């Protein structure tokens, strides 16, 4: 079965420090992968998506970057964190697990980042 | 992708049906309606989706109006564990979905 992992689950980092969040998917190949950020009490903001190795599309200009070094690995990074980078980061992939011909998005457990 | 409008919050008594509305007046003909929910500090969980016809699964029912401009998610017998934020999303343009603020459903004993 397909599963999606994210780590770490929580992270506290000082302003100006680097960041690396990892997302991996098991049980599928060549998935479309997505990074979202969620501010407290708000909806999800799409940050990046990738349709294949080395292919990254950015949805909003920001202090973050993404990379896809392997088919089932998606990494979110920053060279210098800002206070505004705090939030709940979610990785997702597109799958067809509902027995229909339509795609559905499935989310990982998330990483809660606090920048102090 | 079409945008959606949901009430910010709703209450429901435990054991009663919870009916969560969603307006999506700009939906196009080939866009699906998806519902997700997010329990605090977890990733969103897929609930159900539909195109034109009403749908039902083990979690919920989805009623889509004939003009497809609105829909209702029905949790037939709400429990305390159904307390969550519910998101209505229309269309998946390569997965670039817009998740608004959703509806916070509070199930009360």
Start-end of H helices in chain A: none
Lay out the sheet containing B70-75: strands in order across.
Answer: B18-23, B70-75, B61-64, B55-56
Q: Which of A14-23, A98-107, B59-68, B75-84 has the lowest mean pLDDT?
A: A98-107
Question: In chain B, what residues touch A51 (CB-CB under 8 Å)?
Answer: 94
Assess A47–B contact: CB distance below 8 Å, yes or no: no
Residue of A nearest to B101 (CA): A43
At B29 the pLDDT is: 82
Tens of pLDDT along A47-97?
999 999 999 998 876 789 999 999 999 999 999 999 999 999 999 998 776
User: Looking at chain A, how many residues does it have?
Assistant: 116
Tens of pLDDT along A14-23?
999 999 999 9
Between A32, A41, A88, which is nearest B94 by CB?
A: A32
Question: In chain B, what residues touch A45 (CB-CB under 8 Å)?
Answer: 99
Q: How far is C-alpha B62 from the geometric centre of its chain's CA atoms?
A: 8
10 Å CB burial of residue B45 (0-12, 13-18, 19+) is: middle
Q: How far is C-alpha A106 from the geometric centre of its chain's CA atoms?
A: 12
């Amino acid at each position: 079965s397909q599963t999606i992992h994210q780590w770490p689950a929580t992270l506290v980092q000082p302003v100006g420090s680097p960041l690396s969040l990892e997302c991996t998917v098991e049980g599928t190949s060549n998935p479309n992968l997505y990074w979202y950020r969620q501010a407290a009490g708000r909806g999800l903001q799409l940050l990046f998506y990738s349709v294949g190795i080395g292919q990254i599309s950015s949805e909003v200009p920001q202090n973050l970057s993404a990379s896809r070094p392997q088919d089932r690995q998606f990494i979110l990074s920053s060279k210098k964190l800002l206070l505004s980078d705090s939030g709940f980061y979610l990785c997702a992939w597109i799958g067809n697990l509902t027995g229909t011909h339509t795609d559905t998005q499935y989310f990982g457990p998330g990483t809660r980042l606090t920048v102090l | 992708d079409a945008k959606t409008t949901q009430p910010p919050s709703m209450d429901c008594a435990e054991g009663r049906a919870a009916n969560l509305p969603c307006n999506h007046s700009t939906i196009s003909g080939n866009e699906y309606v998806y519902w997700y929910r997010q329990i605090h500090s977890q990733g969103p969980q897929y609930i159900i989706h539909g195109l034109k016809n009403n749908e039902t699964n083990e979690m919920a029912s989805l009623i889509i109006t004939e003009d497809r401009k609105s829909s209702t998610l029905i949790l037939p017998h709400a429990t305390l564990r159904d307390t969550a934020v519910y998101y209505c999303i229309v269309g998946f343009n390569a997965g670039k979905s817009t998740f608004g603020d959703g509806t916070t459903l509070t199930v009360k004993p």
